């Protein structure tokens, strides 16, 4: 029997990839979930595991070829020499359910480079539920991203081995899918998952919506679903939360577990920190403990940037298909200043200083689950349009929880725009091992003395936090002055002055 190996989902807006490396050759035996090949997109590297045990019969897409989503990469065949694996896994591509009462293991998927464990955050199915192939079974949380686990085959969920809240390693078994009608006794983990599947409706809500409902304390019956057959989407939950008269968690969350017989105890709520929030807390504290962090301030007159943006924004959007914002100006200005003050773009490695002759710009983004910093690689060589497109895409993927580990690693400098929330002044915290982060703030009209006259100008406070171990005060002030000069006279960016 032949099993097809196809290109997996590559991520939002990614439509093709290049076959980088084949780890197996035709005729070699492969085990289920063993890595067959590696694909490269313009954003991330994707490993393709074997969907079944057997023998690699044919490689259809050779190394170096460009393939689209769901394209055929190779075929597997069952036979002598095949690596031992559950038979239904190999038949999953053709059969509607796991056959013959045999079972298919649901394993932890590839979590990314250097990630060795994850926490089971949500089960979307309960023991005894029927599942279709590729239907979402559960969601895992790592230090950086959320990973959805699809069903490897159709059948019945007969066993859940990892309950919600448990930590699993990269090779752990999560559950078992059996053939039609086969339902094993639920282990202790099952009750924890049972409430997730019982939403009162016969449709499966979006995983991102379920995650947000769990975090905000909103129940499914409080949300009006806009998806097919009433399916609740993430946007529906956001509308329900914003429409609530009082904070949703306080209205729906259960009383705290601590048995304290005090009036305040009944009004408290105890929620376990997510792995992402724990990582944010640890990294920020480590940054304060490790770096000799200092902040210097300045202010910039945004008149010229705002005038330039107002003059060209319509033509810019018409030609490039993306809005012209302020972030591209700040990114360009920082890249320009980093060339003059390279220590702000460097990092300390032991007793060495590593200077980066490129700029991978981190752009801090707030999401419903916490702060993340996607990285725009080689921002110093990108145009205004390319920067705006990259920022828009990264921001959207961050809000949707679709960022990969690779997209949040390798930054050399960071921009943090607290102005979008109304912040007038702040001291941003370094994102280690980086040595600099620029805090942007609210643009506010203020009276300024210009050529002996008091005039009203749109002003913004800038804050540069830097590691004093590597960046001296002179370098930090010079960097901030160069950013100020470039923004107050944007033509300097075009002239490389």
Q: Which amino acids are annotated catalytic?
A: 468, 472
Structure tokens at 421: 């929330």
CA distances from 490 to 163, 337, 338, 385, 487 (A): 55, 13, 16, 16, 5
CA distances from 127 to 155, 171, 195, 201 (A): 11, 22, 11, 17
Give the separation between CA 118 and CA 282, rounded to whole angstroms.
17
What sign does the CA torsion over 258, 259, 264, 267 have?
positive
CA distances from 205 to 108, 134, 200, 254 (A): 22, 15, 11, 23
**CA proximity to 197, closest of 123, 97, 110, 248:** 123
Structure tokens at 458: 């749109």
Q: Where are the alpha helices (DSSP H) in 400-497?
A: 473-488, 491-495
341: how many CB neighbours lie within 10 A of its CB?
A: 22
Give the separation between CA 28 and CA 81, rounded to whole angstroms.
8
Structure tokens at 361: 């710009």
Q: What is the dihedral of CA 212, 217, 222, 228, to 10 degrees?
A: 20
User: Strands across the sheet with 29-30, in order?
Assistant: 2-6, 72-77, 54-59, 29-30
Exposed / middle / buried, residue 103 (Cβ in 10 Å: 0-12, 13-18, 19+): buried
Structure tokens at 48: 């393709």
Which residues does 65 contact at the CB level (< 8 Å), separation at least 6? Answer: 18, 19
Question: Rg of the chain's alpha carbons, rounded to an integer?
Answer: 26
């Amino acid at each position: 029997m032949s099993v097809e190996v196809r290109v997996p989902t590559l991520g939002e807006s990614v439509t093709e990839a290049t076959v980088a490396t084949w780890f197996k050759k035709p005729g070699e035996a492969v085990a289920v979930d063993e890595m067959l090949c590696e694909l490269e997109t313009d954003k991330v590297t994707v490993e393709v595991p074997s969907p079944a045990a057997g023998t690699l019969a044919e490689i259809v897409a050779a190394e170096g070829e460009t393939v689209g989503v769901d394209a055929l990469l190779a075929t597997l065949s069952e036979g002598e020499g095949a690596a031992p694996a559950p038979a239904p896994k190999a038949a999953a591509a053709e059969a509607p359910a796991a056959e013959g009462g045999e079972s298919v293991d649901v394993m932890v998927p590839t979590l990314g480079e250097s990630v060795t464990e994850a926490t089971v955050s949500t089960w979307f199915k309960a023991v005894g539920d029927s599942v279709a192939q590729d239907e979402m079974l559960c969601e895992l949380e790592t230090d950086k991203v959320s990973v959805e686990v699809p069903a490897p085959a159709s059948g019945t969920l007969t066993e859940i081995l990892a309950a919600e809240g448990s930590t699993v390693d990269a090779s752990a078994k999560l559950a078992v899918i059996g053939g039609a009608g086969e339902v094993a006794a639920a282990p202790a983990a099952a009750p924890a998952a049972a409430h997730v599947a019982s939403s009162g409706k016969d449709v499966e809500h979006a995983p991102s919506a379920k995650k947000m409902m769990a975090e905000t304390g909103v129940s499914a019956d409080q949300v009006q679903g806009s998806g097919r057959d009433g399916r609740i989407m993430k946007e529906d939950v956001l509308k329900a939360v914003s429409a609530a008269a009082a904070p949703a968690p306080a209205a729906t969350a259960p009383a705290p577990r601590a048995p304290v017989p005090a009036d305040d105890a009944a009004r408290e709520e105890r929620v376990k920190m997510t792995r992402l929030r724990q990582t944010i807390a640890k990294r920020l504290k480590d940054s304060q403990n490790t770096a000799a962090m200092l902040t210097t301030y300045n202010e910039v007159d945004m008149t010229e940037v705002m005038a330039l943006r107002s003059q060209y924004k319509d033509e810019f959007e018409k030609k490039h298909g993306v809005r012209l914002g302020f972030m591209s100006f700040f990114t360009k200005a920082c890249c320009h200043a980093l060339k003059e003050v390279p220590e702000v773009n460097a990092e300390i490695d032991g007793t060495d200083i590593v200077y980066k002759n490129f700029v991978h710009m981190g752009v801090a983004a707030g999401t419903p689950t916490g702060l993340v910093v996607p990285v725009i690689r080689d921002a110093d060589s990108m145009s205004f349009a390319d920067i705006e497109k990259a920022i828009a895409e990264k921001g959207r993927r961050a809000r949707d929880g679709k960022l990969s580990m690779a997209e949040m690693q390798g930054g050399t400098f960071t921009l943090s725009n607290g102005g979008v929330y109304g912040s007038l002044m702040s001291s941003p915290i370094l994102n280690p091992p980086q040595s600099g982060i620029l805090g942007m703030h609210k643009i506010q009209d203020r009276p300024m003395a210009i050529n002996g006259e008091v005039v009203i100008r749109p002003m913004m406070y800038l804050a540069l936090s830097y590691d004093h171990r590597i960046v001296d005060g002179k370098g930090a002030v010079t960097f901030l002055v160069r950013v100020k000069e470039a923004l107050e006279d944007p033509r300097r960016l075009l002239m490389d002055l």
